Amino acid sequence: MSAPVPRQNLRGTIDPSRGRPPHDDRPQPAVRTQERGDVVVLEPLGQLDRDGVEHLRDAAAALTDRPILIDLNSCVLTDPHALADLANDRDDRVDSCFVSRRTTCRLLLDRAGIMLRFAVFHQLEDALQARTFANDGYGLGWRRDP
């Protein structure tokens, strides 16, 4: 017969008000930016919730006339609807696409309706190659409609 598991002392063991930094002290979500030819790659880092999407929105707003590739491979997407709001802000005349190799992230993008308007690639190189081929007259590139 196994020994009984001791019960936790539920009185005062965890104080939710202690040990948590104030809201203002939380680290700000980061967005790494790099240029790959005429394309700007925005790569959110860490957790992509409403705050993270706002930082991503600010970075994208500065690039109104440049093609943007949003690489979601280095973040955890927790609010796909906030990301859908960002996608809806993009001007349809400017090329944009998303990259994510994780199936769960791609399912969230699909549920948020992003995959209906934007191409979603597994890898950064695939997205850049599709754009290059389209510029040379081969394939759709980042367009969703034939």
23-59 residue pLDDT tens: 545 555 688 999 998 899 999 998 888 888 888 888 8
What is the distance of C-alpha 1 from the center of its chain?
A: 51
pLDDT score, position 134: 86
pLDDT score, position 47: 86
90's tokens: 């993009």
From residue 93, alpha-carbon distances to 22, 34, 67 in Å are 42, 22, 10
How many Å apart are CA 125 and CA 134, to the nearest integer? 14
CB–CB of 77/111 below 8 Å? no
pLDDT score, position 9: 45
pLDDT score, position 144: 65
CB burial of 28-40 (b: ≥16 within 10 Å; e: otherwise) equals: ebebeeeeeeebb
- Which segment of 9-18, 86-95, 134-143 scores lowest on mean pLDDT? 9-18
What is the pTM (predicted TM-score) of this model? 0.75
Does residue 2 register a pLDDT over 80?
A: no
HEC letters along 11-25 = CCCCCCCCCCCCHHH
